[in-house]
Each structure stands twice: as C-alpha cells, then as structure tokens.
Structure 1
Amino acid sequence: MIRDAIVDEVRAIRDEIAKECGYDVHELFKAFRRLEAGCATDHVSIVPRSGGPEAAQQGNAADEAQATTPAPRR
C-alpha cells in the first residue's frame, strides 16, 4: 500500500489533538467548539424555508418519501 504524506500528517495532528483532550470525545468537541468560536471565517447557517410552515411541511414530506424509498439493487 502506498503511504500518503498528507494523510499521515492529518492523522498525526488528529492524534495530537486527541491526546491533549485525554482521548475524551466530550473534551474533544469542546475544544473544537472553542476553536470554531475564535475563527474569523463564516460558517454555514441553516436558513428557514420561505413560505411559512406549510411549505416546510410539504418539503419534509417529500424528503421523508425519498428517504423511505429503497435503493435499487445491483
């Protein structure tokens, strides 16, 4: 298997951050949230659908129908 320097670097950084948090997932997410709060870049925010609650319900019904449709077999 070919080693990838970028993947190795990302894994090393991930391990370093996890070690700083004592490999505790709750502490890890707290650290990420602190980093995110101090970041100057814009983040994605969810914008409510226009058209009121009825439009949102219609959109959700379509999403649910699509989610319950089984994937085609190959």
Structure 2
Amino acid sequence: MSGERTRLDLEQALSERILVLDGAMGTMIQALSLDEAMFRGEEFAGHPAALDGCNDLLCLTLPEAIEKIHDEFLEAG
C-alpha cells in the first residue's frame, strides 16, 4: 500500500473514531544516535540541564527527524 493511500485511510478512520496508534518511537530515535547538541538545537543551546534523551524536545529541535520516523511508520502500514 502506498504511503499516500495509507495516509488517506488513516485520515478517514480518524474522522470516524478514536484511534490508538503505537510505534517504537524511542527505538527509532535511539537508532539516530543523536548527541546532546542535536537534542538542544539552537533553541535550547543555553539550557542549564542535560537534554540528551528528552525525546519530546525533538519535535522542536529536530522536527524533520520526527516527521521522517512517522512517515516510515505510515509507509510500513
């Protein structure tokens, strides 16, 4: 199934009911071998605490990586 077809099917299902989606986000993020600077990005370069491993932060500092992981999940079906 194509990624676009999967995306359309997902959008249709979302319009009809609540969906629970589960994936291995942590595993996929770990596979990227990101360092502290990549977690920080420019936005949090001066933050006083260590941010390595704060995966939620990557939506702000490295959104293209998170989007790529989600696209891979959609493509996999």
- Which of 1 and 2 has higher RCO (CA within 8 Å, sep 6+)? 2
> Same fold, TM exceeding 0.5?
no
TM-score (norm 2): 0.29
